[in-house]
């Protein structure tokens, strides 16, 4: 079923769809959506098991992609943050007609380090999160929020903002958090990157402790026309710490798609 927010969308306007990350919810995107001009329609919703959808569950990345697809019935510009970026990248290969363009934010096609992928994180990090989640649910989520802004130039202020935005919504259910950690640990979409045909923007944080900015090399190699920006002094949430610059990059993508269509 298409939500009421979508029914009001005018087909002539560009539609930006925002997808949050692990343990977060749609409220995280409010500053970005509020900064966009009125000629852009915006849609943000909660992934299964998160926020207002905390009563739902998912098992794997395909379930997340199906959830994204069910919310939108026309081509859109998708913005995916962290785990949400994985879902958007998979959406682009499974439902390309629904993806005019996409923006991957602090995301990687492969989050875990592999023999041929030193840009990933040690898999033990996700094992540690899983163990901590079982022992201390609330504490693990709060520590994860802290990781979003660790080493950012405005870390303390951003952490307060994150907590205010995320914690105002119902907390993610533990089943979804477990499934999300498995998605992050086991997904490898690197082979999908050369197959992308739609415009792409990538926003990475120079000081991100969760996604190495060197992962941009994969996009540079296969998609030289992509707009890849590494934000100086930004951690895992550049759309909060560098809102004006982030909005400008997103608008450049929207204008590119809109001008191409017209």
Is 236 considered catalytic here? yes
For the chain, domains (ranges, CATH) are 4-261 (3.40.50.1820)
Residues 18 and 32 sit within 8 Å (Cβ to Cβ): yes
Comparing CA positions, the residue from 151, 145, 155 lying closest to residue 28 is: 145
Q: Which of 50, 71, 236, 258 is catalytic?
A: 236
Residues 231 and 204 sit within 8 Å (Cβ to Cβ): yes
The model carries a pTM of 0.90
Q: Which of 46, 63, 71, 82 is catalytic?
A: 82
Length of the chain: 262
Is 208 considered catalytic here? yes
Residue 203: the pLDDT is 97
Taking the C-alpha atoms of residue 220 and residue 104, their distance in angstroms, rounded to an integer, is 14
Residue 254: the pLDDT is 97
Low-confidence ranges of the chain (pLDDT < 70): 1-11, 147-155, 158, 162, 260-262
Cβ-Cβ contacts under 8 Å for 130 (sequence gap 6 or more): 178, 181
Q: Is the dihedral of CA 85, 169, 243, 140 positive or negative?
A: negative
Is 63 considered catalytic here? no
Taking the C-alpha atoms of residue 218 and residue 108, their distance in angstroms, rounded to an integer, is 10
Taking the C-alpha atoms of residue 184 and residue 61, their distance in angstroms, rounded to an integer, is 9
Q: Which of 20, 50, 108, 208 is catalytic?
A: 208
Residue 209: the pLDDT is 85
Q: How far is CA 197 from CA 68, 76, 166, 258, in A?
A: 19, 14, 34, 16
Give kind and range of the element (H or E) at residue 135.
helix 123-135
Comparing CA positions, the residue from 86, 84, 103 lying closest to residue 190 is: 86
Taking the C-alpha atoms of residue 92 and residue 65, their distance in angstroms, rounded to an integer, is 9
Residue 186, helix vs strand vs coil: helix
Taking the C-alpha atoms of residue 232 and residue 248, their distance in angstroms, rounded to an integer, is 15
Strand partners of residue 205: 231
Taking the C-alpha atoms of residue 40 and residue 221, their distance in angstroms, rounded to an integer, is 31
């Amino acid at each position: 079923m298409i939500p009421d927010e979508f029914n009001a969308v005018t087909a002539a306007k560009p539609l930006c769809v925002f997808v949050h990350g692990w343990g977060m919810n749609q409220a995280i995107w409010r500053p970005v959506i509020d900064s966009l001009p009125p000629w852009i329609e915006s849609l943000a919703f909660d992934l299964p098991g998160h926020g207002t959808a905390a009563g739902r569950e998912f098992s794997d990345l395909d379930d997340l992609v199906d959830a994204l697809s069910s919310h939108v019935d026309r081509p859109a510009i998708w913005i995916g943050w962290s785990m949400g970026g994985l879902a958007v990248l998979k959406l682009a290969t499974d439902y390309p007609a629904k993806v005019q363009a996409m923006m991957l934010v602090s995301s990687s096609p492969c989050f875990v380090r592999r023999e041929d992928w030193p840009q990933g994180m040690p898999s033990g990090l996700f094992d540690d999160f899983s163990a901590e989640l079982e022992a201390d649910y609330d504490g693990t989520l709060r520590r994860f929020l802290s990781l979003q802004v660790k080493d950012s130039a405005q870390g303390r202020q951003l952490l307060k903002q994150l907590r205010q935005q995320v914690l105002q919504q119902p907390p993610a259910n533990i089943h979804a958090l477990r499934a999300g950690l498995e998605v992050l640990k086991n997904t490898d979409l690197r082979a999908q990157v050369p197959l992308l045909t739609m415009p792409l923007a990538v926003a990475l944080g120079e000081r991100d402790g969760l996604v190495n900015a060197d992962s941009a090399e994969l996009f540079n190699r296969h998609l030289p026309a992509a707009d890849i920006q590494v934000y100086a002094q930004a951690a895992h949430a550049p759309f909060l710490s560098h809102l004006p610059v982030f909005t400008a990059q997103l608008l450049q993508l929207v204008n590119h798609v809109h001008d191409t269509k017209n």
